[in-house]
Chain A
Amino acid sequence: MFILKLLARNAFRHKLRSILTVIGVAIAVLAFGLLRTLVGLWYLGVESSNASRLVTRNAISIIFTLPISYKDRIRQVPGVKIVSYGNWFGGIYIDEKNFFPNFAVDPKNYLELYPEFVLPPDQKKAVILDRKAAVIGRKLADRFKWKIGDLVTLKGTIFPGQWEFVVRGIYRGAQKNTDETQFFFHWDYLNETLKKTVPRRADQAGFYMIGLTNPDSAADVSVAIDRMFKNSLAETLTETERAFQMSFVSMTEAIVIAIQIVSYVVIIIIMVVAANTMAMTARERIAEYATLKTLGFGARHIAGIVFGESLVISLAGGVVGVIFTFPAALWIETELSQFFPVFNVSSLTVYLDLLAAAVVGTVAAIFPTWRGATIPIAEGLRRIG
Chain B
Amino acid sequence: MKNFKPPIVEIKNLTKTYRRGVQVIPVLEEITLDIADGEFLALMGPSGSGKSTLLNIIAGIDKADSGMVTVGGVDISALSEAELAQWRAINVGFIFQFYNLIPVLTAFENVELPLLLTTLSRKERQAHVETALSIVSLLDRVDHYPSQLSGGQQQRVAIARAVVTDPTIIVADEPTGDLDRVSAGDVLGLMARLNREFGKTIIMVTHDPRAAEKAHVIRQLEKGILNNVHS
Residues of A within 8 A of B (CB): 2, 5-6, 9-10, 13, 287-288, 291-298, 376-378, 381, 384-385
Distance in Å: Cβ of A283 to nearest Cβ of chain B: 16
- The chain B residue with its CB closest to the CB of A300 is B82
15 contacts between A and B (CB under 8 A): A2-B109, A288-B100, A288-B102, A292-B113, A293-B61, A295-B89, A296-B86, A296-B114, A297-B85, A298-B85, A376-B62, A377-B56, A378-B53, A381-B96, A385-B178
Distance in Å: Cβ of B222 to nearest Cβ of chain A: 21
Contacts of A298 in B (CB 8 A): 82, 85
Q: Is the CB of A10 within 8 A of B104?
A: yes
Contact count A vs B, C-beta below 8 Å: 63
Contacts of A9 in B (CB 8 A): 104-105
Q: Is the CB of B62 within 8 A of A296?
A: no
Q: Is the CB of B100 within 8 A of A384?
A: yes
Contacts of B102 in A (CB 8 A): 6, 288, 291-292
Contacts of A293 in B (CB 8 A): 61, 85
With A6-B102, A295-B114 given, can you name 20 additional A-B contacts, CB distance below 8 Å? A2-B116, A6-B105, A10-B104, A288-B100, A294-B59, A294-B61, A295-B94, A295-B113, A295-B117, A295-B161, A296-B85, A296-B86, A298-B85, A376-B62, A377-B61, A377-B62, A381-B61, A384-B98, A385-B97, A385-B98
DSSP class of A's interface residues: helix, strand, loop or mixed?
A: helix
Question: Which of A5, A376, A381 meets B100, CB within 8 Å?
Answer: A381
Contacts of B98 in A (CB 8 A): 384-385
Q: Which residues from 70 to 114 on chain B have a C-beta closer than 8 Å to any C-beta of chain A?
A: 82, 85-86, 88-90, 94, 96-98, 100, 102-105, 109, 112-114
Contacts of A5 in B (CB 8 A): 109
Distance in Å: Cβ of A13 to nearest Cβ of chain B: 6
- The chain A residue with its CB closest to the CB of B97 is A385
Distance in Å: Cβ of B139 to nearest Cβ of chain A: 21
The number of chain B residues touching the other chain, given as a range, is 20 to 34
- The chain B residue with its CB closest to the CB of A10 is B104
Give Cα distance in the complex from A291 to B162, angstroms. 12
Contacts of A296 in B (CB 8 A): 85-86, 88-90, 114, 117
Distance in Å: Cβ of A301 to nearest Cβ of chain B: 9
- The chain A residue with its CB closest to the CB of B88 is A296
Give Cα distance in the complex from A385 to B174, angstroms. 12
- The chain B residue with its CB closest to the CB of A384 is B98
- The chain B residue with its CB closest to the CB of A288 is B102
Question: Which of B88, B105, B178 meets A295, CB within 8 Å?
Answer: B88
Contacts of B112 in A (CB 8 A): 2
Give Cα distance in the complex from A296 to B167, angstroms. 12
Give Cα distance in the complex from A58 to B170, angstroms. 91
Give Cα distance in the complex from A88 to B3, angstroms. 109
Question: Which of A287, A294, A384 meets B94, CB within 8 Å?
Answer: A294
Using known A-B contacts A296-B86, A296-B114, A297-B85, determine if residue A291 contacts B96 with beta carbons closer than 8 Å.
Answer: yes
Contacts of B109 in A (CB 8 A): 2, 5
Contacts of B97 in A (CB 8 A): 385
Question: Which of B62, B85, B100 meets A291, CB within 8 Å?
Answer: B100
Contacts of B90 in A (CB 8 A): 296
Give Cα distance in the complex from A9 to B100, angstroms. 17
Contacts of B100 in A (CB 8 A): 287-288, 291, 294, 381, 384
Give Cα distance in the complex from A185 to B38, angstroms. 101
Task: Please name the 5 residue pairs, one residue from A and one from B, whose CB atoms are nearest each other, closest first.
Answer: A296-B89, A9-B104, A377-B61, A291-B100, A378-B62
Give Cα distance in the complex from A305 to B210, angstroms. 40
- Among A6, A296, A298, chain B packs the most CB atoms within 10 A around the CB of A296
Contacts of B61 in A (CB 8 A): 293-294, 377-378, 381
Question: Which of A2, A378, A385 meets B56, CB within 8 Å?
Answer: A378
Q: Is the CB of B117 within 8 A of A13?
A: no
Contacts of A297 in B (CB 8 A): 85, 117
Contacts of A295 in B (CB 8 A): 88-89, 94, 113-114, 117, 161
Give Cα distance in the complex from A85 to B59, angstroms. 88
Give Cα distance in the complex from A381 to B56, angstroms. 11
Contacts of B59 in A (CB 8 A): 294
- The chain B residue with its CB closest to the CB of A291 is B100
- The chain A residue with its CB closest to the CB of B158 is A291
Give Cα distance in the complex from A291 to B61, angstroms. 10
Give Cα distance in the complex from A12 to B106, angstroms. 16
Give Cα distance in the complex from A13 to B116, angstroms. 22
Give Cα distance in the complex from A57 to B88, angstroms. 81
Contacts of B94 in A (CB 8 A): 291, 294-295
Q: Is the CB of A13 within 8 A of B104?
A: yes
Contacts of A10 in B (CB 8 A): 104
Contacts of B114 in A (CB 8 A): 295-296
Interface string of B28-40 (1 = CB under 8 A from A): 0000000000000
- The chain B residue with its CB closest to the CB of A298 is B85
Distance in Å: Cβ of B58 to nearest Cβ of chain A: 12
